[in-house]
Amino acid sequence: MHTTALLVFCAIFLFVTAAGFWAARWRRPMAGMHTLEEWGLAGRSFGTWITWFLIGGDLYTAYTVIAVPAALYGAGAMGFFAVPYAIIAYPYMMLVLPRLWNVCQRHGYITFADFVRGRYGNRWLTVAIALTGILALMPYIALQLVGMKVVIAALGVHGEWPLAAAFIILAAYTYSSGLRAPAVIAIVKDIMLYVMVLVALIYIPYKLGGYAHVFELANQALATHTPPGTIHLKQGQQLPYATLAIGSAIALMLYPHTATAVLSAGSANAVRRNAAMLPAYSFLLGLIALLGYVALAAGVATKDTSASVPLLFLKMFPEWFAGFCLAAIAVGALVPAAIMSIAASNLFTRNLWGEFTGKPMLPRQESSMAKLVSLFIKFGALVFVLKLPAPYAIEMQLLGGIWIGQMFPSVVCGTFTRWFNPWALLAGWAAGMYTGTAMAVSLSLKSSVYPIHFAGQVYPMYAAVPALLLNLAVAVVLTLILRAAKIGEGSDSTEASAYIG
């Protein structure tokens, strides 16, 4: 057990816990947090900087800090796809999300499924979008627990109780403070991450003889792996790399926790400014990725690639600073897990329970149900991680990324046009979900890169991309047929003026 590192870790964790409970009083409205808009979106009151920390804390999670370097540690250059996909995502964010924010704010929408309900007036399409969001979020929440579990194990603490205790605390302050808790903690988390990464990438390479030596040693170590890896893309990896970046960028802005963070902004301009400022996190992500090569160069040896970064810190830093770094990763699990559970509970309350009961709830009833559902979701994720092997969560997350991309025609296309027929969108969604799932399952959920055979050639690509292309093709063809027959056009209850400006 690393006693000094553990004491520093616990002290920071207690400070973050206190900040989470204090957040219930931060910007608290006089009427309290008895509406879904106040509890789940913090009253749509966050300015540019708070939104920046919140979205950054939401998108760059504990598992990002663990998994991206682990990918480079295990496989080499392919792991870098996370960097270009973040770069692609922000122009896409600038184009789409301010427009969506305007419509959702005008009509009081809490989720993207609310937007689909208003735009198309189709219950079953709304339910499909809500279910997709919840299904994709569950393994994502579990992955935050996996990241925290790896950190706790690296400190030398074993057993189920530390992880259970951490998420009981998370559940308590999320229940009382809503979205305000992760917003406050995100500020602490992001400052800690920047300190951790900058120190690690200056101090450790200096001790190892410089970056040229780091890359040389990393390349030598990767050559001994099975299959061998390199620090540059090999022949045939370009298409998988590109489609992983594009497909992941499409999915990133459709996740329900992204919607929750974005819709909490106080204005569309705050969203635009964030699209311009968030590339700073892409720079941070590139630095985080390099930790995988640094771990190889430092001689960190482990069969569990997810443990490479925690073991690197414990090997190369004094124990007190290693404890600080591991606490930064653990806090990085708390922020997204809280936002994800809030997002999933919003979807259930508004778009599943609300659709099927057909009885409008009072604002207080709505927020009370969402709070209870968020507790249930956290408990479910905890049981999933404690009772099932960690690879299950990773494999399910592969499916989650494929599934969430199938919302693109309904949400993103719907932001710019009402041309699609809602029943055609539902059929396209079903085709994309089935095809993407079948491709991943055929690979035994070990990879999301599927070999497409066409014209005598093999094109390996991220399964979400061909699934989405099929989704769009089905939606276009069926829309033409149904429009000609004047069937199932649905109704658009959104205001045209909301899409302007």
Is 171's pLDDT higher than 80? yes
Main-chain phi, psi angles of 35, to 5 degrees: -130, 155
Q: What is the mean pLDDT of residues 300-326?
A: 89
**Matching residue, tokens 């919140």:** 54
* pLDDT value of residue 262: 92
**Matching residue, tokens 């027929």:** 421
Q: What is the mean pLDDT of residues 59-77?
A: 82
Share of residues in the chain with pLDDT > 90 (%): 36
**Matching residue, tokens 């897990």:** 337
* pLDDT value of residue 296: 92
Domains and CATH numbers, the chain: 3-386 (1.20.1730.10)
String of DSSP letters for 70-85: HHHHHHBGGGGGHHHH
Q: What is the mean pLDDT of residues 8-17?
A: 88
- Integer distance in angstroms from the first to the last C-alpha of the chain? 57
Q: What is the mean pLDDT of residues 409-430?
A: 96
In this structure, what token pair is assigned to residue 96?
Answer: 């789409």
Main-chain phi, psi angles of 389, to 5 degrees: -60, 145
* pLDDT value of residue 30: 58
Neighbours of 365 (CB within 10 A): 14
**pLDDT 10s digits, 99-138:** 999 999 999 999 999 999 999 999 999 999 999 999 998 8
Cα separation of 153 and 162, whole Å? 10
Q: How far is CA 317 from CA 116, 309, 327, 434, in A?
A: 50, 12, 14, 47
Q: Helices marked H in 178-318 — which ranges?
A: 180-208, 211-223, 238-252, 256-263, 268-277, 279-297, 308-316
Question: Which of 493, 499, 439 minimizes the C-alpha distance to 468?
Answer: 439
Q: Which residues contact 391 (CB under 8 A, 6 or more apart)?
A: none
Cα separation of 254 and 53, whole Å? 19
CA neighbours closer than 13 Å in the CB half-sphere of residue 225? 21
C-beta of residue 137 within 8 angstroms of C-beta of residue 343 = yes
Is 360's pLDDT higher than 80? no
In this structure, what token pair is assigned to residue 5?
Answer: 């590192």
**Matching residue, tokens 């690690």:** 200
* pLDDT value of residue 390: 64
User: Residue 461 forms beta bridges with which residues?
Assistant: 450
The answer to pTM > 0.95 is no
* pLDDT value of residue 446: 82
Cα separation of 436 and 406, whole Å? 9
Give the lowest-confidence range in 129-138, 159-168, 230-239, 265-274: 159-168
Q: What is the mean pLDDT of residues 261-278?
A: 90
Is 175's pLDDT higher than 80? yes
Burial tier of 373 (Cβ tally within 10 Å: 0-12, 13-18, 19+): buried
More confident residue, 473 or 191: 473
Query: Sign of dihedral through CA atoms 388, 389, 393, 398?
Result: negative
- For the chain, give the mean pLDDT: 87
Share of residues in the chain with pLDDT > 70 (%): 96
Query: Sign of dihedral through CA atoms 141, 147, 150, 154?
Result: negative
**pLDDT 10s digits, 15-55:** 888 888 888 777 666 566 778 888 888 888 888 888 888 88
User: Residue 230 forms beta bridges with which residues?
Assistant: 76
Amino acid type, 346:
N
C-beta of residue 317 within 8 angstroms of C-beta of residue 325 = yes
**Matching residue, tokens 């009772």:** 387
Amino acid type, 138:
M
Residue-wise burial string across 207-244, b where 16 or more C-beta atoms lie within 10 A, e elsewhere:
ebeeeeebbebbbebbeeeeeebbbeeeeebebbbbbb
* pLDDT value of residue 31: 60
Is 373's pLDDT higher than 70? yes
In this structure, what token pair is assigned to residue 125?
Answer: 């399409």
Neighbours of 482 (CB within 10 A): 18
- Give the distance, in angstroms, between the CA of residue 128 and the centroid of all CA atoms in the same chain: 20
Strands 457-462, 449-454: pairing is antiparallel
* pLDDT value of residue 415: 94
More confident residue, 40 or 467: 467
* pLDDT value of residue 331: 85
Burial tier of 391 (Cβ tally within 10 Å: 0-12, 13-18, 19+): exposed
More confident residue, 159 or 423: 423
C-beta of residue 294 within 8 angstroms of C-beta of residue 95 = no
Is 486's pLDDT higher than 70? yes
* pLDDT value of residue 265: 92
**pLDDT 10s digits, 374-416:** 988 888 888 877 777 666 666 677 888 899 999 999 999 999 9
Q: With bands split at pLDDT 50, 70 and 90, how would you rate the model's confidence at 56?
A: confident
- Local structure of 490: helix, strand or coil: coil
Main-chain phi, psi angles of 299, to 5 degrees: 80, 20
